[in-house]
Amino acid sequence: MAVNWLLICHGLVTLTVVISFLCGQWPIFQGTPIERLHHFITFGAYDYFLRFVGFVFGDKARSLVLSIERCCCDRPNPVLQVIYLAIIGATYYYIVKSSFRYIPGYYLGEVHKYTSLLAVGIGIVLFLLTSFSDPGTVKAGNVSEYLLAYPYDNIIYTEKECSTCKIPKPARSKHCSICNRCVARFDHHCGWMNNCIGERNTRYFLAFLLWHCLLCIYGAIALALIIAGRLKELRVVYILTVYYGVGNSFRSLAPHVAQWLLSSYNTQLLLMVFLVIVSLLLAGFFGYHANLCLTNTTTNETFKWEDYISWQRKLNEARVSAAALKASISGMSSEAKRPESKCKSFFRRSPLEDSQVVAKENKYDKGFFHNMFEVLFPLSTRPSFSQTKSKPS
């Protein structure tokens, strides 16, 4: 029984750590232990580790750790790609080793041995497509076409030159410091892919997220059906009720069935929990990026808009405050007025409430179907793109 509780605690701790690491910055977790655990995992633990290395082994060892960090985080490297392949390979291996001997079973046919391998293979193909496809590199040879394809909105994008590439910087592009190149319709640099996500490979990235979400759901359901089939084939409920005198009700049977499952099929249960957690996380990521694509926005532009709106809001509030202060000073300099009652002053509207509301004006959002078409068939892949020439100055 102690082993069963150990497995349950292991699953809960794993779930908490995964959610804290990936979702700890979400607004819903602000001020909660999840946010503090996220900060410790992402910043605090590494900071304490650096201090420990410096204290025990000296400054040279600490410098070595920092150089490894720069190599892994600030330069293109395949570390996370290898980790992805190890995760998907190890997960499939343990599923095959622990569960394939029960296929065919009561609920699953033998075809699932082959469909599961095909599904994993498609997932790896999508991973390779996203990792090694061109994200939409802006070069001197195609910069004029990109300048016409993505006009400046003069809000978050204005005409400027890339200080590194020394070429005009098209709207919606960004110079990736890790890949050292300008990328059209830049979304973000994905460490798992060791590649930027941009105009040309966003479709592959979305397909990767969706397919792996469905793959995890498929694996979890298949494992659940295998366990349910074993429960049926071994007549566990019948044995418990007839030979052990357990009542034939859910409340009476559930503890005994759960104990049997945890003792006989703990590997399958842990794999199910892992697949369900990963599928939920992938569903969240896919939903976020799908919503960005439907509004023709990128992750990079989301942060740009947040900064712009925050700056404009502070600017408007400063103007309103200055106008209110000027009016107050002019009122004091004029002839004395009848003092305002405390009740009226309490309910008086704040001048800051009259500040102009800053709205997001996305010039690139051209409707649901057009936005999706632009993601599925990027502008630079169309024949008209290469035929477009910049207008003579």
Active site residues: 190
The pair of structure tokens assigned to 197 is 């996500």
What 8-state DSSP symbol labels residue 235? T
Nearest Cα neighbor of 390 from 144, 161, 138 is 144
Count other C-beta atoms under 10 Å from residue 167's C-beta.
18
Please provide residue 318's backbone torsions phi and psi, each rounded to the nearest 5 degrees. -65, -40
Does residue 96 contact residue 132 with C-beta atoms inside 8 Å? no
CB 289 within 8 A of CB 209: yes
CB 106 within 8 A of CB 228: yes
CA angle 382, 383, 389 (to 5 degrees): 105
Strands (E), the chain: 137-138, 174-176, 181-183, 188-190, 195-197
Torsion (CA) 4, 277, 115, 224 in degrees, nearest 10 = 40
β-partners of residue 182 are 138, 175
- DSSP sequence for 138-184: E-TTTHHHHHHHS---SSS----B-TTT-SB--TT-EEETTTTEEET
Contacting residues for 215 by C-beta, under 8 A, at least 6 apart: 119, 120, 123
